[in-house]
Structure 1
């Protein structure tokens, strides 16, 4: 009876602690978790199970590494907010699988992503025909984002809104995708009253229009 009571108390303690840890680490949907997030969550869950079952060991021996994982995860999240390079290393980058209606097999091979995966995720979005897709982007979380073709779209010039500036850093790959240059972007933003790129948190361009959000 005493052992059962101890297990119940440990269960409540672990429940409250895990709830607190996940709350402090921020709100993210399960489908949006990075590989690192998933590993940390699994480790914390395993530690909690061991702490509940092993009533002979000190509860603090389990709580300490759980709190340490939480601190590491929060610190990495802060660094990710400040460094795009670090964010790309930890979370990865989105990969365009279908670009302007054309499937990019090389990008699929690089991500070890096959046609069965593609068709499965398209069906989940109720898209029956690959020909209906203008763009498909494989997100770092493994989720497939899809932009469908529009009936009134000019198929000679399909477009997708791409970020040109993120956290004050010019996205050279996206500029190249649009056949634009670094100089062109700087000149256009300067004309619109944004001479300092580092002060821009987000900038996109589509159909001749810029959207610019300045850092707080």
Structure 2
């Protein structure tokens, strides 16, 4: 596919997730659990990009819908606003739709509403949302490491052994725009401010299937 353009400028193209982002994804999963807001939903969205709009731009619009909805629905709570918490990775394997693997936190009492609104956000962002374009699953706490490793299976092959990804690693094609990321609420800056140190041993990431 030719280069996508954003505001007249070429988008960055990548073939894999870099080491820094992969590490941040793992730490974000642990940090979300530590603060009592685990990434409790796993979403896969098929993204119908065009010559004018990249898959990354479509997903960015969907994330903004989630952010605005969550802000609106939680701002009147006694506990205050719940910030968006998520990690994601874009994939574009040969023969398949560009799609995104997205793990995020949604308060339990808002899950049904989120699942009802998500297809509408997708349709608004890309013009359609077919029956197979959006799948939502719950995430058990005891499987979040396996999920994290699956989501970053397109990591730079030079770091597959370092992150114990041998069982899941697979090239995930060419992506235009930001390929993977972590929400600011779970990112390196926040973790540094609170001096977060994962309680779990790195060996547990190795042993996660």
Q: Higher relative contact order at CA 8 Å, sep ≥6: structure 1 or structure 2?
A: 2
Verify same fold: TM over 0.5.
no
| Pairwise TM-score range, normalised by the shorter structure | under 0.3
* TM-score when normalising by structure 1: 0.23
Greater CA radius of gyration, 1 or 2? Answer: 1
